[in-house]
Amino acid sequence: MLQLATMWWWDGFWMNALGTAGGNRRAAESPEGGAGGGGEGKPVEGCWFCLGSAAADTELVASVGEEVYLAVDKGPITPEHALIVPIDHLSASVALSPRCFAEVERYLSALRAMYASLGRELVAFERHLYLRTKGGNHCHINVVGVTPAAGRRAGDAFRAAAATAGYTLELLPPPVRGSGPDELRRQLLQALGGADTEYFMALLPDGSRLVRPLMRGERWPMALGREVLADLAGVPERASWKQCSSSPEEERQRVEQFRQLFKPFDVMQQAEDVGAGEGVGQGQQTRE
Where does this chain bind Zn ion (CB under 5 A)? 44, 47, 49-50, 89, 138
92 or 161: CB nearest Zn ion: 92
What is d(CA 145, CA 123) in angstroms, rounded to the nearest whole number? 6
Taking the complex as a whole, the smallest distance from the CB of residue 46 to Zn ion amounts, in Å, to 9
Taking the complex as a whole, the smallest distance from the CB of residue 136 to Zn ion amounts, in Å, to 9
50 or 162: CB nearest Zn ion: 50
CA 27, chain centre distance (Å): 22
66 or 206: CB nearest Zn ion: 66
Question: Which residues are CB-contacts of 166 (< 8 A; sequence separation ≥ 6)?
Answer: none
Taking the complex as a whole, the smallest distance from the CB of residue 257 to Zn ion amounts, in Å, to 27
53 or 109: CB nearest Zn ion: 53
What is d(CA 152, CA 169) in angstroms, rounded to the nearest whole number? 17
Taking the complex as a whole, the smallest distance from the CB of residue 149 to Zn ion amounts, in Å, to 36
> What SS3 state is found at 57?
coil
Taking the complex as a whole, the smallest distance from the CB of residue 41 to Zn ion amounts, in Å, to 9
47 or 228: CB nearest Zn ion: 47
Taking the complex as a whole, the smallest distance from the CB of residue 56 to Zn ion amounts, in Å, to 9
Q: How many CA atoms lie within 13 A of 212 on its CB side?
A: 24
Most distant pair of Cα atoms in the chain: their distance: 55
Q: What is the DSSP letter of 45?
A: T
23 or 155: CB nearest Zn ion: 23
Please answer whether residues 76 and 244 qualify as being in contact, where contact means their C-beta atoms are separated by less than 8 angstroms.
yes
DSSP string, 63-77: EE-SSEEEEE-SS-S
